[in-house]
Amino acid sequence: MFLIYDYSFRPPDVSREGALAWAYESGVVCGDEQMLDSTPWPSRSAWCAARCAATEARLSALPADAETVLINQWPLRYDVSQPPRMPRFSIWRGTTRTEDWPRRFRARAGVSGHLHMRTTIVRYGVRHEEVSLGYPRDWHQDRGVDWYLRDVLTTTSEHASRFVPARDPFMIPLQ
pLDDT per residue over 97-145, tens digit each? 999 999 999 999 999 987 777 788 888 889 888 888 777 887 888 888 8
**Span 15-38, pLDDT tens digits:** 988 998 998 888 878 888 888 899
* pTM (two decimals): 0.79
Q: List domains and CATH numbers for the chain.
A: 19-160 (3.30.750)
Strand 107-112 and strand 126-130: the pairing is: parallel
Is residue 108 within 8 Å of 67, Cβ to Cβ?
A: yes
For residue 1, the tally of other CB atoms under 10 A from its CB is 19
Say which residue, 159 or 47, is predicted with more confidence.
Answer: 47
Q: Is the dihedral of CA 166, 149, 172, 127 positive or negative?
A: positive
